[in-house]
Amino acid sequence: MGYEAARQLLVLHASRVIIAVRSAVKGEEAVASLKLDPEVKKHNPTAIIEAFVLDLDDYNSGLSFAQRVKREVKELDILLCNGGVNIMKYQKSVAGHERVMQVNCYTHVLIALELLPLLQATSKLRNAPTHLTFVGSATQTMHTLAKKPVAASETVLSHFDDQNIYSGLTRYSDSKLAVNAYVRRLSALVSPSEVIVNNLCPGLVATGFDKQLPAWLKPLMFVYRKIAARDVHEGSRTLVYASAVADATTHGKFLQSNKIDPGAPFLDQPAGKTFTDKLWAETVADIARFDENLKVYA
């Protein structure tokens, strides 16, 4: 959906769009395709379209990406944190954490905090709020923390890193619960008059997102998506709405079908609020190992 969201933003006259890609070659192909898109050529032929390499599996790559943005981009109106994976087999990231949590959560938070000052500076320049948007999911309600709570003797990050606790069927849900928790916590650090921070569920969308699922599950998901899924164009419109249209009422909120949704009730409970605070503090401490300036957000 990231590619289609970029295309739609270009059609809406975004003057410069940077897409994050894992491969420079794939990035060049995506940029060339966007430039040749008939609607982009018609509505925004002079747009600057670029691809920056980013591997969300690795904190160092996330930091390099953010540093490049800070070097080369003077104004940032939208930061759309879209990348994610769903892997039903325990894997470790380059950074040493469980991979789904790393890719869907931790590196995104590093990038978001690195670029938050640029979003704030652009807001002052525009005299209007910028947007920091994360792609979440309604599956957050299927999280495991009610049945497998974080023990007093462990940290939140170590809980998610524990292979004995890991469940391939629900880890994606855990990661999206964490995304909503991050958005709630981050929204308390910045005024919606400066940066609107939100997250959204695009719904079930017909994409290639299931390619890393086990062979037995792929046919089932293929049929399910054929029957129930939105097409990529429709799903991507929800990303564009949350990151470019949604107003201050969505600050710190979770959206479904472009409307505010309460998300997982757990986050409003005492245990959920404790989880959110611990998750935030531990994540900031973890990413501050790569940039000590991020400690200010603890």
State how far the alpha carbon of 144 is from the alpha carbons of 17, 28, 141, 160, 230, in Å: 37, 40, 9, 10, 27
> How far apart are the C-alpha atoms of 242 and 138, rounded to whole Å?
15
In the structure encoding, which two tokens stand for residue 271, read together? Answer: 């245990």
State how far the alpha carbon of 242 is from the alpha carbons of 129, 200, 251, in Å: 13, 7, 10
> What residues are labeled active site?
172, 176
A 10 A CB-CB count for 13 gives 9
> How far apart are the C-alpha atoms of 118 and 111, rounded to whole Å?
11
- What residues pair up with 78 in beta bridges, in sequence order? 131
